[in-house]
A and B are shown apart, each in its own frame.
Chain A
């Protein structure tokens, strides 16, 4: 299972990659904003996306909307600092399947990923 991680923070990408490897997902590609995320997605093979919201060039919401225009089925998990109810609803309306507020625990990430894949 190849997972695309889109986040402008290299530290956060490493944390997510570490968490994924601990729960058995080691095939990972990275993008540092929505634009590079779309490029990586275009290279094929990605079966799930984990994306941040606040990023330069193309933010996570725009990225999700663009992805959904091309691929309505791919599971998308948003992992962000945006914590307001309106933000969560906006992201769900844009097409994310689930939502995690930072900081998160590895158990939360695992639970959300498994619920998306199950």
Chain B
């Protein structure tokens, strides 16, 4: 089994390809509708460039997924930022309106207060949605773990067969201990606080 066959095996997850080497080494077709990603951390590959070390289309695909989700998450954040700014502007306009001569009747003041209150609720929901975007980073780190394991398998096969593929050294370290899916932020906090307290007590003692 040569390098192209190892790559093809990782790409397909099944039997090694019997394609000619040149075909097996050909880069994966780039997703046509997806534009180039926004600048991010240096390890992220361009969407239309396969990994230079040819270490497998599976890894390349996973990198693409993380790049695309990060880019799209930032677009969602842009939209939320814009909504937040618009709501702030609206609140300011309503505040100005409250002092207007024609808005002094109790009915008008009551209506204005209700609009202000609804605006604040929208603002709170926007902030809540922004906080929920943390899922992108957590999912990305879970994918990094999968990539890490794939690379270990890849490197093992390469070592076994004596070919000379180099490992990529620019990936982030991976989290071996991501909190279980479904763990709430409050549970995370309670856990971390308990460990910190125990650590501090031990240090004092």
Residues of chain A having any CB pair with chain B under 8 Å: 7-12, 14-15, 18-19, 22, 32-33, 53-57, 59, 80-89, 92, 98-106, 108
Contacts and interface: CB of A to CB of B under 8 A. Distances in A.
Interface of B: 38, 40-43, 70, 73-74, 77, 127, 130-131, 133-138, 140-141, 144, 170-179, 183, 185-186, 188-189, 191-192, 195-196, 199
Contacts of B172: 8, 33, 54-56, 59
Contacts of B138: 81, 102-103
B177 A82 contact: yes
Nearest to A87: B177
Nearest to B127: A22
Nearest to B174: A54
Contacts of A92: 196, 199
Given A8-B41, A9-B140, A84-B176, A18 B130 contact: yes
- Specify which of A12, A84, A101 lies most central, judged by the most chain B CB atoms within 10 Å of its CB: A101
Given A9-B137, A10-B74, A87-B177, A57 B42 contact: yes
Nearest to B42: A56
Contacts of A87: 177
Contacts of B174: 54
B173 A101 contact: no
Contacts of A103: 131, 134-135, 138, 185, 188
A108 B175 contact: no
A101 B192 contact: yes
Contacts of B144: 54
Given A54-B141, A56-B172, A81-B175, 16 more contacts: A9-B140, A10-B40, A11-B70, A11-B77, A12-B137, A32-B41, A33-B42, A57-B42, A89-B199, A101-B188, A102-B134, A102-B138, A104-B185, A105-B186, A106-B131, A108-B185
A12 B176 contact: no
A86 B181 CA distance: 19
A11 B173 contact: no
A80 B138 CA distance: 9
A35 B15 CA distance: 42
B19 to A, nearest CB: 33
A57 B179 CA distance: 24
A81 B199 contact: no
B81 to A, nearest CB: 8
Contacts of B176: 82, 84
A7 B77 CA distance: 17
Contacts of B41: 8-10, 32-33, 55-56
13 contacts: A9-B140, A10-B41, A11-B133, A33-B41, A80-B175, A81-B175, A83-B179, A83-B192, A88-B192, A103-B185, A105-B186, A106-B131, A108-B189
